[in-house]
Chains A and B, each alone.
Chain A
């Protein structure tokens, strides 16, 4: 099983820092994954494409949940926005007689645009809200999605959704690359762009400001940070990521319908982000892989178990959700740092050169992230546990 980017656990090229490091890693890892896809059978290639699609959304979501400390249950709706943006644009371009890259590229961008606009609106609301309020609002948005599609059924085609014309492998590559491999390529490239973009964003000025606002909004404002605008920007960036994921998913499956973007997907994305490790892009990768692997393995297990047919049918799908739910609760209660945090705290206790500043909560340390850059000296305490955003206690 290949993942879109399987970064080494230990830091390579320690001398290289900053945006250059991020870009170099992206330039090294992405082609490696693209080549690896060539050795995969169609089903595995499809799984890689799916991981890349989920990665777009989880990378965006980890920015909101881990870095900004806001819970969004609405990222499935943002993915759907990307999908609908893609489908509507692609169909319009089909009528204009375009196909191939001339149809796909503008449609993907349109998907990102639509999702970004929705994210901007959510961000405007989210900038004023905290924790449970924003979570409730985004939950209402996800549950209203089928109603939206039905109400504007002339455009959005109700529950059936929109079908999109098929775009296959480009002419020069035919016979060399299979369809599923090509689709995985497209998905991996888009995911690489999203992750690299978000990594640059996180390690740049905006990332610092987001953390400052999360930890103490009042203090951040006193320091001259426009807290609301920072939150709106975070949400918009996150939504663009999720929207690109939705657009690519629509490209791969050639359709978009509200049923595929329900509450279940939103919850799964949240699970992925928490399991991987809040605020860590590497954690988002781990989470995206788990989102594809766990249901697949659970399905295999359910098939292999000697159980009656009707029980097997009930286990199908539900077993994976049950596993994810248990994992979510256990990780949240026992190891808020997620997989990445747990690995890091272990390696940290072995080489105790880096004193842990938060011993009780193993936290993904951005400075350990291969995609992480930024001179550590300029970082405001990078070991601040992202799983534990300390709010200015405003709920009272």
Chain B
């Protein structure tokens, strides 16, 4: 029982990170109708920036801020430099260009810093706090959970309560009409990419201390999990990303705890196959079903 509670708590914190990453995929999907396969590689690049800045200043917060800035800058650059040039082509082109970007970023990181694993310390204690004798969450898990929730709430407010959010939604859903009404669609598209990329960078920075360490491939699995979460929740649905993230996080935590870490990727694969076959538009999507 204690173990179950602990696994649920850990799964919750992990799920928050997954939800954050999935949210970043949803953001860019809603803005540009592209699944950004380079999101993980972009996030790990920003995490390296955070690692360097934290190493120089000794402050985790400075590193976090640097990662957010680097992530936003990367998103801006990728949209302006690459994705804009293939806009309006088939989804195939977007996926392939993103794959090329993954290869460029990961090999460039490999050349710059080498393939070795860099140890990353969590800024807080990682021993679980016991509540009534039951180990529940570590302070770092708690920090991750709160940070993720704050960011998600902030994004929710941005999109539903501010003029900018309204314009971004309008630009995403009806670009032509928005343009006629004076919304600067292309600028908002770039903003959407930058925002999405910064959120992904945050997710990666929060995740890496709980994993084995920082390598150019540290976010490969995060991307697959985030993608799974986004598909499970529906690529169009931020709420779906939140619910899906927590669900998948808890599932992985339970599978890892009871069946072993090596089974977790299989569980994800099975979940993805089942959801895609049964309800490809996502469990919480309200849009029309995709044909054929």
Contact = CB atoms under 8 A, between A and B. Distances in A.
A139 B91 CA distance: 16
Contact of A274 (B96, B112, B115, B264): B96
A310 interface: yes
Contact of B265 (A73, A143, A332): A143
Interface in A175-232: 217-218, 221, 227
Interface stretch (A18-26, A109-117, A239-247, A317-325): A317-325
Contact of A140 (B86, B103, B106, B224): B224
Interface string B228-257: 100100000000000000000000000000
Contacts of B57: none
A319 B112 CA distance: 11
Contacts of A146: 262, 265
Interface string A141-156: 1011011101100000
Nearest to A148: B266
A130 B289 CA distance: 13
Interface in B74-110: 82, 85-86, 89-97, 99-108, 110
B269 A141 contact: yes
Nearest to B103: A325
B97 to A, nearest CB: 5
A275 B266 CA distance: 32
B90 A391 contact: yes
A324 B101 CA distance: 10
Contacts of B33: 395-396
A328 interface: yes
B277 interface: yes
Contacts of A139: 37, 223-224, 227
B291 interface: yes
B276 A132 contact: no
Contacts of A333: 82, 85-86, 97
B139 interface: no
B291 A326 contact: no
B108 A135 contact: no
Interface residues of B, number: 55
A276 to B, nearest CB: 13
A129 interface: yes
Interface in A16-72: 65, 69, 71
Contacts of B99: 73, 267, 270-271, 328
**Nearest 4 interchain pairs by C-beta:** A325-B103, A131-B91, A328-B100, A132-B35
Interface of A: 65, 69, 71, 73, 124-125, 128-133, 135-137, 139-141, 143-144, 146-148, 150-151, 217-218, 221, 227, 263, 267, 270-271, 274, 310-311, 313-315, 317-319, 321-322, 324-329, 332-333, 336, 387-392, 394-396
27 contacts: A125-B276, A128-B276, A131-B90, A132-B34, A135-B35, A136-B35, A136-B227, A137-B276, A140-B227, A140-B228, A141-B269, A151-B266, A267-B102, A313-B114, A314-B112, A319-B111, A322-B103, A322-B108, A324-B103, A325-B102, A326-B100, A328-B96, A333-B86, A389-B90, A389-B92, A390-B90, A391-B91
Interface of B: 33-35, 37, 82, 85-86, 89-97, 99-108, 110-112, 114-115, 220-221, 223-224, 227-228, 231, 262-266, 268-269, 272-273, 276-277, 280, 287-288, 290-292
